[in-house]
Amino acid sequence: MNDSVPRKQILNKYVQPYNIDCTPYTASNFSNKVQQYCLTQPNEINFAFDTLKMCKVIVIGDTCVGKTSLINRFTKKMFEANYKSTIGVDFEIEKFLILGVSYSLQIWDTAGQERFKSIAQSYYRAARVIVICFDLTNYESLLHSRQWLVEALNANRHTNPLVFLVGTKQDLLNDFSYKCILSDAFKLAKELKAEYWTVSSKSGKNINKLFSRIAVLSFDKLIKEQNDVKENVLQIGERLDGLGNSRCKKTKTHFLKNCCS
Ligand SMILES: Nc1nc2c(ncn2[C@@H]2O[C@H](COP(=O)(O)OP(=O)(O)OP(=O)(O)O)[C@@H](O)[C@H]2O)c(=O)[nH]1
């Protein structure tokens, strides 16, 4: 591949949840409408540019739970053992090719420290995915997940975002401690209507799977929503056509132009 072509992860199959009993998102494949849509799109594999299908993902949670490490492991394939606090926010973009269609995750790393919270919160808006991280070795950080979600949903009342609860630092636990916290994490995920994942940024365990899952679920939802809007616009257009006079035609042209742009 040409160096100027952006690197993309190719996803041609649906990605399954970490645990089928701990997710509110139960579909086992892309929806029919989305598969149909992708079949009618030009093959973008060789394109050096992208269409703008972008999804904002916010990663939130207590300080030191490993948000930056999670994002760096996925986007830069690196792990840094020394802690450096995030100041405010930062973001990375990761590109995918899903069923032949270009798609990007814009992943926002937010500061967990109290003193940076208000800056970080001002970037919550328009999130289509909320990832709440907690540290599997720190029970308090699990309990705080509730409050993190309330704050993120307050900024996203109209977008109905997908929600993930992610337990980090799995490499630090023995089997017994892991099982103890896992059962509480499952309970909380169910209460929050979130999908649960366990990861380790140090070993890399489940990091790619988690973000691939986020990509396919959010892609499916976005394409369905865009399709629904298009169908509604066309239906309204047809109704205006039915009315027939020139004023209606003008209204239709104006309406389609504004909606489609
Ligand atoms: N062993 C282990 N350590 C981890 C893991 N993930 C993160 N850490 C360590 O935990 C510390 C905090 O990680 P960060 O990723 O900076 O945490 P953060 O949530 O971004 O912190 P804030 O920026 O303050 O919000 C660092 O020292 C990391 O090296 C992991 O999977 N395993």
Structure tokens given for 144: 């705080």
Domains defined for the chain, CATH in brackets:
9-23+49-234 (3.40.50.300)
Residue of 255, 221, 240 whose CA lies nearest to 37? 221
Ligand 1 centroid to residue 214 C-alpha, Å: 21
Please state the φ and ψ torsions of residue 133, each to the nearest 5 degrees: -100, 140
Q: Whose C-alpha lies nearest to ligand 1, atom 14? A: 66
Q: Is the CB of 83 under 6 A from ligand 1?
A: yes
pLDDT for residue 110: 97
Q: Is the CB of 15 under 6 A from ligand 1?
A: no
Residue whose CA is closest, atom 6 of ligand 1? 66
Question: What pLDDT does 1 receive?
Answer: 41
Distance (Å) from CA 23 to ligand 1 centroid: 25
- Decide: 73 in ligand 1 pocket, CB within 6 A: no
Sign of CA dihedral 217, 218, 223, 229: positive
159 lines ligand 1 (CB under 6 A): no
Q: Contact at 8 Å (CB) between 195 and 164?
A: yes
Burial class (CB in 10 A: 0-12, 13-18, 19+), 107: buried
Q: How far apart are CA 61 and CA 167, in angstroms?
A: 11
Ligand 1 centroid to Cα of residue 64, in Å, is: 5
Pairing of strands 101-110, 162-168: unpaired
Per residue of the chain (261 residues), give pLDDT as tens: 444 445 789 999 999 999 999 999 999 999 999 999 999 887 655 444 455 689 999 999 999 999 999 999 999 999 999 999 999 899 999 999 999 999 999 999 999 999 998 999 999 999 999 999 999 999 999 999 999 999 999 999 888 999 999 999 999 999 999 999 999 999 999 999 999 999 999 999 999 999 999 999 999 999 999 888 777 777 776 776 666 666 666 666 666 566 554
**Alpha carbons 89 and 248: distance in angstroms, whole number:** 48
pLDDT of residue 41: 83
Give 80 Cα–ligand 1 centroid separation in angstroms: 8
Indicate which residue's Cα is closest to atom 27 of ligand 1. Answer: 83
Nearest CA to ligand 1 atom 15: 66
- Look at the pTM and tell me if it is higher than 0.90: no
